[in-house]
Structure 1
């Protein structure tokens, strides 16, 4: 099945069920797939052919995109499972976020439309998303990774009750540059699309200079510039610039005009004017470098403008360590790198012996390998249930094990009150497909002991041999 011809309903590699496909802009195609073993949805980013032309291009793209995989889990970063070659093309498998990008939310007005009757509702949401974006980018910076293509289109937003922002596509700007993408400046309609490691409408001055041939090392300050433009876009209601390096002049003209934004778009708070102005200093050495400090400044502004404490706390790196190790182990197992996965699970267990995903995935893997008995895996999960403090979550995972073990009665009891998430729906569907268990049948015909037996694949036919020298079917 050719990659460009994937359609809804197709199953790729016997594992990924295609649910939808969309144009990923400068990257290529983006597929939404259901991972049948994990019972979860993933985004599969397939690069344009010219980005991975030749062995060197594919290898360079794979290496750069792999920096996203190595990025530890964080609640404001889209998780990347792995880079996997399909038909010799390196495809990026990442967490699927329901809700859409920040660019889409700004463009269609959803960002402001349902923020509540309080006039500060939209302002609170915009400032909250600005903080979350900053936290996500700062997380990458602390691990030595510069994004280089921060923009609203690369911020995914879960639009449930909490409106959670997650920065995506880490390493892909470098991957495009590594692939030797050197097209001319695209037409006006493409200024919002990434190419050559940046997006023209959000690039910093040093990125524009590097694009023109200057030998410049990009620092955290380039992401600060693009973050500030992304924040400004939420107050303007549309992309502020055609070319990101013109941000200081565009920002000054915006402030001087004094014109209100589109209906529902909140006014830019005066205290934020100075903060964004500092981010638009052309010399990167004089620009802020730490996005956690910018996030703290926005939090202070939030509490002053909204009149209530900011509702989130910064995620703690130590608390994310076991989760990140377990997630990487599961991804390595999917790539048939079992020994590396097992070593990561051992490390995760050392970090947090009762981290639920680690206990579950590590025990399930060993049970499937035959090194853990049915009683052992059930015991492990029940012990974790007593210590974890989230019995409903443990019961859900225990139910999935019982389904796989074939204990329908135990599984149905555990699933009775479980929320209808994809893996629970799949488990219930599997139980509904199974025929009711039949009582064992007594087979007769041998004179003496039965010494060997075999079953057909569907267990409908049995073949036995005995001491009497007879064979029975």
Structure 2
């Protein structure tokens, strides 16, 4: 029996990770842990490009609140417009059950590694100070972000010595006590202050960050900027007591303190934030004066924020789709198409944008528009397998199975090594009850993506439809070993355990599925059945009522409600009413309509109303003439009638 939450490990160096965005996979090159998160340096198999994946530490995280917090912060990353001095998030994707923010890879390491060797020359320190100031200013001005963890380790360096700030919001995402973040999808608040629990790196934290519940604003990051600047020019890090200015005064001579550079450091590290520069525009003005005094020339102006390219709009829209922000994704895709027209981009990029357009429209249940978008995508680039895959998936959602199969076969002609296409093809074939072909397609998908929980669930469901429940259970256990918090895998495992007559285990698994997806009626329906089989009738009744509230009059549930009522109270008019409702609800479901007639017949027989019972069994046998238990019930009534 499953007990508690299953354990899982972080990704390992050398591990191959299935990518939703790329045809191929990521290979993990390096693993770096910090706080509540993990950073992976990976290489894409299709392009060879290196990227960084940022996600939870899987060993620590089990809270749904933590997951929602990360997704909100990932949304912040996606919304943040590109800037030369911010490490941009390219997109968000789910990898083996974990949401990952995919960012660029900085070849030059980070500022902390550089400072390990000591102080920097003034020109270099001031160069990096400008970059840090401009990056933070962009984030504050655009989204009113308070980084809260400005430090050298969060300053990445490119090969051309450009500093880029990273980890916006991820410190908040991994802060288990921060309960005052905006709800998912909300824009940042209009007020420049945000309430917080104690979070950050102590030796860079402003005094107000040590106060639980204090309202933070830009000036907390201004303080950390001053500490980083002092560390760059001296190689020394002040103690972490929130009194960096006092330390600066104690360790520098009066001549040094009179320079503009040290006046800037002292202003930024004032213990009382009211005495600090109010924002990074003011910091930049002071920094320009220090730059001119130290180097004898004007400081370069802040870089202008570049216009987004059509490819960047693709990435932003995909990230928003993964975060269930479909309207925003559609807006980004449409803006990308306008940008592609403006920049004269070719058919390949425009095809991608039409694909994303179709994905967003499909999630918004605008099927005709989605299919038209996919038609445009394959028209522009018929050699792109993902366009055919997405078009096929849209057709499959509309039950146009043969048309969908044509799309999948076209995609596989172009690239026979795409596991997702084989998985989708297996689904279409299963719906057509071409089970042998479906099994071949699903097994090919698993061969190509052996650690993809979605693919494993597809094959498990296919095998369940063929009554191969033990094989289905094996696939579901493999899926849960990769993604222990997959509600889909847990729900299907619970159903499979019921089919294997293991109701106690099913009940445990289904409760875990309910913890993740509390409003899934199929889970509550199976919980009802599991409790009923365990003869926990009162509990089954509670589950059944919840399932009916979620699903409405579902024949299966109404039959179970009648059976449960009969067990608890004996047969009466209320039980009969449940079966009458089930008969009405099963107008297009012969199995449950026949079952409801039979159960009503049994209840009437228990009440001694034998002629009515006989009529019910006759009704059931008209629906399904070869049902043995209905014939047996009818025969029993006839014997009691001595006929």
Give the corresponding residue for 1:173.
Answer: 171
Residue 295 (structure 2) pairs with residue 296 (structure 1): no
Match of 1:241 among 239, 242, 247: 239
Give the corresponding residue for 1:232.
Answer: 230
Deviations 1:307-342 (A, max 9, x none): 3343x4323347358786454125457889898645
Residues 35-184 of structure 1: pairs in structure 2 closer than 5 A: 35-36=44-45, 40-49=49-58, 52-108=61-117, 112=120, 122-142=121-141, 143-160=143-160, 163-178=161-176
Residues 2-401 of structure 1: pairs in structure 2 closer than 5 A: 3-8=9-14, 10-13=16-19, 15-36=24-45, 40-49=49-58, 52-108=61-117, 112=120, 122-142=121-141, 143-160=143-160, 163-178=161-176, 197-210=199-212, 215-243=213-241, 245-256=242-253, 270-310=259-299, 312-317=300-305, 319-320=307-308, 325-332=313-320, 341=329, 343-350=331-338, 353-355=341-343, 361-366=349-354, 369-372=374-377
Contact 1:73 1:324 (C-alpha < 8 Å) held by counterparts: no
Shift of 1:76: 0.6
Deviations 1:369-428 (A, max 9, x none): 552577x569xxxxxxxxxxxxxxxxxxxxx99xx9xxxxxxxxxxxxxxxxxxxxxxxx
Contact 1:363 1:372 (C-alpha < 8 Å) held by counterparts: yes
Contact 1:52 1:179 (C-alpha < 8 Å) held by counterparts: no
Shift of 1:32: 1.0
Shift of 1:164: 0.6
Contact 2:90 2:312 (C-alpha < 8 Å) held by counterparts: no
Q: Secondary structure at the match of 1:313?
A: coil
Contact 1:303 1:309 (C-alpha < 8 Å) held by counterparts: yes
Instruction: For 1:225 and 1:31, locate their aligned partners in 2 and report how far apart those are by CA, in whole Å.
Output: 30
Segments of 5+ residues of structure 1 without an aligned counterpart are: 113-121, 182-194, 259-266, 379-399, 405-456, 458-473
Deviations 1:95-149 (A, max 9, x none): 211111111111135x84xxxxxxxxx2111101101101111111111111111
Deviations 1:139-166 (A, max 9, x none): 1111111111111111101132xx1110
Instruction: For 2:24 and 2:52, locate their aligned partners in 1 and report how far apart those are by CA, in whole Å.
Output: 14
Distance 1:319 1:364, change over 3 A: closer
Contact 2:106 2:156 (C-alpha < 8 Å) held by counterparts: yes
Distance 1:364 1:175, change over 3 A: closer
Instruction: Report the count of equivalent residues.
Output: 347
Q: CA RMSD in A?
A: 4.0
Contact 1:78 1:167 (C-alpha < 8 Å) held by counterparts: yes
Instruction: For 1:61 and 1:373, locate their aligned partners in 2 and report how far apart those are by CA, in whole Å.
Output: 35
Q: Secondary structure at the match of 2:223?
A: helix
Distance 1:60 1:366, change over 3 A: closer
Instruction: For 1:105 and 1:306, locate their aligned partners in 2 and report how far apart those are by CA, in whole Å.
Output: 22
Distance 1:366 1:56, change over 3 A: closer
Instruction: For 1:334 and 1:60, locate their aligned partners in 2 and report how far apart those are by CA, in whole Å.
Output: 15
Contact 2:257 2:263 (C-alpha < 8 Å) held by counterparts: no
Bigger share in helix: 2
Contact 1:349 1:358 (C-alpha < 8 Å) held by counterparts: no
User: Max radius of gyration: which structure?
Assistant: 2
Contact 2:350 2:377 (C-alpha < 8 Å) held by counterparts: no
TM-score by length of 1: 0.63
Distance 1:337 1:146, change over 3 A: closer
Distance 1:59 1:255, change over 3 A: same
Deviations 1:148-195 (A, max 9, x none): 1111111101132xx1110000011211224669xxxxxxxxxxxxx9
Contact 2:35 2:174 (C-alpha < 8 Å) held by counterparts: no
Bigger share in strand: 1
Distance 1:152 1:134, change over 3 A: same
Shift of 1:247: 0.6
Question: More relative contact order in 1 or in 2 (CA 8 Å, sep 6+)?
Answer: 1
Segments of 5+ residues of structure 2 without an aligned counterpart are: 1-6, 180-196, 357-373, 388-440, 442-643
Instruction: For 1:358 and 1:222, locate their aligned partners in 2 and report how far apart those are by CA, in whole Å.
Output: 45
